[in-house]
């Protein structure tokens, strides 16, 4: 849940070392009985005051499915009211725990904290949806007001000396108190998270840290709102000649985008799902340049939406906070609670991949220049890469899109989930449960491995709209934990496809299909969760992308292609000859893909390891890229002025490397399935679910990986997947 993640951080792990047997022993020792969990929950709740929220959006969720979010009742004013009252109710819960006269125990302190602030949790989950998926002026105003208040409320908990001493007492005496392995891990992690968040500072230090955190919260909100405003733009193409080369499906999407905005002609929205196809297929080089510049200059136009000064403020504040807490820089602080542990470990992996990726780019550019006859510019790269793909592999991306109709891709993702884990998805009729937008679809999720038991609801929000943040992401409305009552899981996947005209198909690219499977992988991670304590649902930043990334591999598996990804007009499965072309070209353009991503990760780490944070962000980005020899034909996947991962929260700051860290595990895992001769191997799938997905962070994830795979992940698998030399 969002608020608990803010307070506790994501779960931390040790660098991979140790014996596989430790995981099994730890796991066996950590399994509590249902009776003991129920007793612990009763004892924890007895500490908390009985409170009756007044605000409508703080009430327990009602209706079927253990209650669902009341999206039909949400307004900006009601949300504001609920959040403000929720903060007060949380304050009362924390005071009751901190001021308890009874000696600190796991139940009356640690478990009670796990259950504290439930009304605010409910409202916060709605708050996240309305500010991300709906947005707009009214919700922006609420977000601007509440962000610093939420930050201050979190600091108030961390800085509560009585509370911290109770937590520390429980953690320091875990063995003497006979705590289970899970209880000890949770208590120690809470203690350590409080320390990293400033609980050990003196009064002046806490006051200064509170100032920094509030200022950061305000800056995060400003950054996100500026980027969204700059993305609410488009390039109008007045004449159809400007669309030459585009597939019909993309032309239709551009026409629909224009009509929905009362524009004449066609509109290329300033989102990746609209821009990338245009850059790949549009013949008009001048228009490609125009569309490309508008996209890569989001947040960097010297106007009211320019983010560079906000970034400078954020990195300066982060540096002040890190040094106040005794760390040399922000990256060192952030990585205390990750698998990599240190910036050096992350940089070592990135450097190993950077050199072969850059070398591959030089080869790709040479191939493209031979066709183009002139120097390749960034707005040419995808266009001429597609020409090379066709020449080298006789593969035209336009051949693929008819097989990736959105509804079919989603059906294929459901089939993957059912075959691997026994999850079954059943669409609900419109209106069965409230949704925040009419286009949202909702599905029941049943677990066939548990007799078809209903375990969750899955919401999908597929289309771009003004005010909605860009990209694709997964959101959890309610997670699973045995301590708070084992309610069914509620979660959503969110995309930004262009909404079609009624009755028209939404044809997406192979890359979009893999992104859908990626975000669905996050969902499957949460639907698989079987944890006792809510905090254990949060895994480390450099682990959390692993379950999502590995699921991308099943998109082109033959059972999914044959059963679901059929040509939307003919109904025929993708012929093996076309699959062979895709597989032959699997490592094609990996120089571009890797350099685009990895340059963003390297600049992120560079930015957050500086002894003195930069003030001129444009100059820093340029100098940082020059230091690593960034090919001139490519730009970062996320330039700093629009890098939401880094500057709308601390979540991915000094952590964008985590996709590569996770990919090391995901490539090695896919190799495991392939080597078995069955990419749906039921034994491997069952073990993956039970060892890697279900336990959350109840045990060290590095130990868990060794228990699953029998060894540490092999980086050679990652290099092989990307087509780079393994030696």
Active site residues: 519
Helix axes 285-296, 272-281, angle to 10 degrees: 150
Residue 711, judged by CB atoms within 10 A of its CB (0-12, 13-18, 19+), counts as exposed
Alpha helices in 246-284 (DSSP H): 248-260, 272-281
DSSP lists the bridge partners of residue 710 as none
Residue 75's nearest CA partner among 31, 37, 112, 130 is 130
Written in H, E and C, the secondary structure of 670-694 is HHHHHHCCCCCCHHHHHHHHHHHHC
**Rounded-to-10 torsion of CA 618, 620, 625, 628:** 180
> Longest Cα pair distance anywhere in the chain, in angstroms?
80
User: Which strands make up the sheet holding 423-427, listed edge to edge?
Assistant: 423-427, 441-447, 453-463, 489-497, 473-478
Element (DSSP H or E) covering residue 456: strand 453-463
Is the CB of residue 266 less than 8 Å from the CB of residue 258? Answer: yes
Q: What are the DSSP calls for 192-222, one per residue?
A: HHHHHTTTTS-HHHHHHHHHHHHHHHHHHHH
Distance CA 561, CA 409 (A): 9
Q: Determine how many CB atoms are found less than 10 A away from the CB of residue 577.
A: 8
Distance CA 256, CA 262 (A): 10
Q: Determine how many CB atoms are found less than 10 A away from the CB of residue 592.
A: 22
Written in H, E and C, the secondary structure of 326-361 is CCCCHHHHHHHHCCCCCHHHHHHHHHHHHHHHHHHH
Alpha helices in 265-328 (DSSP H): 272-281, 285-296, 308-324
Question: Please, which residues have CB within 8 angstroms of residue 436's CB and are 6 or more apart in sequence?
Answer: 71, 74, 129, 130, 133, 134, 461
Is the CB of residue 231 less than 8 Å from the CB of residue 468? Answer: no
**CA separation, residue 392 to residues 381, 396, 509, 588 (Å):** 16, 10, 20, 10
């Amino acid at each position: 849940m969002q608020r608990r993640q803010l307070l506790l951080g994501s779960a931390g792990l040790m660098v991979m070392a140790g014996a596989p047997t430790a995981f099994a022993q730890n796991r066996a020792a950590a399994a509590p009985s249902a009776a003991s969990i129920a007793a612990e929950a009763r004892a924890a709740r007895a500490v908390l005051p009985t409170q009756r929220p007044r605000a409508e959006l703080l009430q327990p969720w009602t209706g079927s499915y253990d209650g669902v979010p009341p999206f039909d009742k949400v307004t900006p004013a009601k949300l504001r009211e609920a959040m403000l009252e929720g903060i007060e109710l949380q304050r009362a819960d924390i005071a009751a725990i901190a001021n308890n006269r009874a000696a600190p125990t796991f139940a009356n302190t640690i478990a009670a904290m796990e259950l504290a602030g439930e009304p605010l949790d409910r409202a916060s989950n709605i708050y996240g949806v309305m500010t991300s998926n709906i947005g707009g002026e009214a919700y922006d105003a609420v977000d601007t007001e509440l962000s610093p208040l939420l930050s201050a409320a979190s600091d108030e908990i961390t800085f509560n000396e009585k509370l911290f001493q109770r937590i520390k007492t429980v953690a320091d005496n875990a063995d003497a108190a006979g705590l289970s392995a899970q209880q000890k891990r949770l208590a120690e992690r809470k203690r350590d998270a409080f320390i990293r968040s400033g609980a050990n500072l003196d009064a002046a230090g806490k006051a200064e840290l509170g100032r920094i955190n509030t200022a950061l919260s305000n800056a995060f909100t400003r950054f996100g709102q500026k980027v969204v405003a700059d993305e609410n733009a488009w390039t109008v193409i007045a004449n159809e000649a400007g669309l030459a080369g585009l597939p019909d499906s993309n032309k239709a999407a551009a026409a629909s985008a224009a009509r929905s905005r009362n524009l004449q002609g066609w509109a290329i929205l300033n989102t990746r799902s609209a821009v990338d196809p245009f850059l790949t297929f549009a013949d008009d080089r001048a228009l490609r340049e125009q569309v490309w510049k508008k996209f890569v200059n989001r947040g960097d136009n010297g106007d009211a939406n320019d983010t560079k000064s906000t970034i400078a403020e954020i990195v300066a504040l982060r540096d002040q906070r890190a040094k106040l807490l005794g760390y040399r820089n922000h990256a060192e602080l952030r990585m205390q609670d990750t698998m990599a542990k240190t910036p050096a470990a992350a940089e070592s992996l990135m450097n190993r991949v950077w050199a072969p990726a850059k070398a591959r780019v030089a080869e790709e550019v040479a191939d493209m220049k031979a066709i183009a006859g002139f120097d390749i510019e960034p707005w040419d790269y995808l266009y001429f890469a597609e020409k090379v793909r066709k020449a080298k592999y006789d593969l035209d991306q336009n051949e693929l899109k008819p097989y990736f109709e959105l509804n079919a891709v989603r059906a294929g993702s459901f089939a993957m989930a059912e075959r691997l884990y026994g999850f079954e998805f059943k669409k609900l009729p419109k209106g069965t449960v409230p949704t925040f937008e009419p286009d949202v679809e909702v599905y029941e999720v049943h677990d066939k491995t548990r007799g078809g038991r209903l375990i969750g609801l899955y919401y999908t929000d597929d289309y771009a709209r003004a005010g909605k943040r860009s990209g694709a992401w997964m959101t959890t409305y309610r997670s699973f934990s045995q301590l708070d009552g084992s309610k069914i899981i509620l979660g959503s996947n969110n995309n930004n496809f262009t909404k079609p005209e009624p009755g028209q198909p939404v044809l997406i690219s192979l890359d979009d299909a893999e992104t859908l499977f990626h975000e669905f992988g996050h969902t499957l991670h949460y639907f698989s969760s079987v944890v006792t304590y809510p905090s254990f649902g949060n895994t480390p930043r450099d682990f959390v992308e692993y379950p999502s990334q590995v699921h991308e591999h099943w998109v082109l598996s033959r059972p999914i292609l044959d059963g679901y990804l059929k040509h939307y007009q003919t109904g025929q499965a993708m012929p093996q000859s076309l699959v062979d072309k895709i597989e032959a070209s699997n490592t094609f353009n990996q120089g571009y893909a890797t350099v685009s991503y990895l340059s963003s990760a390297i600049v992120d780490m560079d930015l957050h390891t500086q002894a003195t944070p930069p003030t001129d962000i444009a100059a820093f980005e340029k100098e940082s890229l020059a230091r690593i020899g960034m090919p001139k034909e490519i730009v970062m996947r996320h330039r700093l002025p629009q890098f939401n991962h880094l500057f709308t929260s601390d979540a991915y700051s000094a952590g964008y490397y985590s996709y590569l860290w996770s990919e090391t595990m995901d490539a090695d895992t896919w190799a495991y399935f392939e080597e078995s001769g069955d990419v749906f191997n039921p034994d491997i799938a069952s073990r993956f679910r039970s060892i890697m997905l279900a336990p959350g962070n109840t045990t060290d994830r590095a130990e868990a990986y060794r228990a699953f795979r029998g060894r540490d992940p092999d980086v050679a698998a990652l290099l092989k997947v990307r087509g780079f030399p393994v030696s």
